[in-house]
Amino acid sequence: MKCLTVLGSLCLLLTNWSRGFDLNRTEVVFDDEMAARWPPLFVPITLIQSAAAKGAVCLDGSLPGYHLHRGSGIGANSWLVQLEGGGWCNDIRTCVYRKKSRRGSSYYMERQLQFTGILSDRPEENPDFYNWNRIKVRYCDGASFLGEGYDSASGLFFRGQRIWLAAIQDLMSKGMRNAKQALLTGCSAGGLAAIQHCDEFHALFPGSIKIKCLADAGMFLDAFDVAGQRTLRSFFSGVVSLQGVSVNLPKSCTSRMNPFLCFFPQNVLSSVQTPLFLLNSAYDVWQLQGSLATKAADPHGYWMECKMNNAKCNTDQIQFLQGFRNQILNCVKKFSLSSKTGLFINSCFAHCQSERQDTWFENNSPSIRNKV
């Protein structure tokens, strides 16, 4: 894992977010022989058969799905729902392309997925959640589970919000309604979705149930790119407009600014009432490659080596990255003051750290002040 140690250390802002959850951490020491007897966990897909009647379908009209691995023992009544990430599509051309892939159609989705990191069933890899009911909801709408619309000319279904509801309702029928505690999480576009749906998820349960959210690599910033343009703002504007996302964004935000700006998590954090934890790199590699130093913003390839290998960044590039780091820290400064929130923002050249075992929980996992 590449970490930008040359750029200085980042502060860890952890508060009381984890309090209230019953995290019966299991301390286990495994030798090589025992590890060999514990094969990788592959979980089959479940297509949501009731979704079609609700119009809750992928971009191409196919059924959405999820992967569920049942909890056991003291974790049998605890539920972890992870929303899959995978970018967005912001115009008809890119959405048509997307619907011919696993990001837009269940016909192309893997029939089984390996559960690692926060989804692992091994106590030595995932000591807090290994025995919970763990679900990965597949992402096939292209608007972070928030779209609502249909384009008849291209045959594209923008039904992200309906997919979200259909998946949650199906899980409720399979026991989640009896949960004693539940965690909504997600990575990348799924991390953005976890923030946007956090309070909605909480509202589905009785007030006595412990509900929290964790957004991994979901803090996509409305920042200037290396050419001085707002690439991601333009892109998100297309996503929100094309897929009818504005109707599903927080009214507390859309009532005071243009709806597409409310797709940026930085503009809705203040309205989230449910305990929320942010896991992010201050030098998020996707944002560097996908929105800050794109080919359009860097036509001569000045950033090519730096964005692929942080060790090759020159002084000016490091200064730019430091500026981006400062932006993300400023965006979460007020958020961090609440007793219901928590953060883990490190300097790793990474994206999505809860899904990868090496960044989630291993001997050399990223740490801040000796905390992983």
With tokens 């297309």, the residue in question is 238
User: What backbone torsions phi and psi does residue 218 show, to the nearest 5 degrees?
Assistant: -100, 0
pLDDT per position as a tens digit, 25-81: 655 444 555 455 578 999 999 999 999 999 999 999 999 999 999 999 999 999 999
Structure tokens at 317: 């590039």
Q: One of 60, 128, 141, 284 is an active-site residue; which one?
A: 284
CA distances from 138 to 64, 190, 296, 305 (A): 7, 10, 30, 33
- Is residue 349 within 8 A of residue 2, CB to CB? The reply is yes
Contact 220, 232 (CB under 8 A): yes
Name the percent of the chain lying above pLDDT 70. Answer: 90
Residue 361 confidence class, pLDDT cut points 50, 70, 90? confident
* Cβ contact 210:182 at 8 Å: yes
3-class DSSP state of 344:
strand
Give the pLDDT of residue 39: 85
**What integer pLDDT is reported at residue 10 of this predicted model?**
46
What's residue 58's pLDDT? 98
One of 67, 69, 202, 351 is an active-site residue; which one? Answer: 351
Residue range 114-122: mean pLDDT, rounded? 96
Q: How confident is residue 18, by pLDDT bands cut at 50, 70 and 90?
A: low
pLDDT at residue 16, rounded to an integer: 59
Mean pLDDT of the chain: 91
Confidence check: pLDDT of 153 > 80: yes
Report DSSP state, residue 289. Answer: I
Q: Name residue 148's amino acid.
A: E
Q: Is the pLDDT of residue 324 over 50?
A: yes
Residue-wise DSSP of 146-163: ---EEETTTTEEE-HHHH
Eight-class DSSP state of 296: T
Note the pLDDT of residue 25: 61
8 A C-beta contact, residue 137 and residue 53: no
Active site residue 202: no
If one compares 183 and 31, the residue with the highest pLDDT of the two is 183
Q: Averaged over 349-361, what is the pLDDT? A: 89
Distance between CA atoms of residues 81 and 88, nearest Å: 20
Q: Global pTM?
A: 0.92
Q: Which pLDDT does position 264 carry in this prediction?
A: 98
Quote the pLDDT of residue 362: 77
With b meaning 16 or more CB within 10 Å and e meaning fewer, what string describes 74-84? ebbbbbbbbbb
User: Does residue 188 carry a catalytic annotation?
Assistant: yes
291-317: average pLDDT: 96
Which of 80-89, 98-107, 190-199, 330-339 is predicted least confidently? 330-339
Write down the catalytic residue from 188, 281, 347, 354: 188
Given pLDDT bands bounded at 50, 70 and 90, which one contains residue 357? Answer: confident
3-state DSSP assignment of residue 204: coil
Position 367 scores a pLDDT of: 72
Instruction: Identify whether 351 is a catalytic site residue.
Output: yes
Residue 54, exposed/middle/buried by CB under 10 A (0-12, 13-18, 19+)? middle
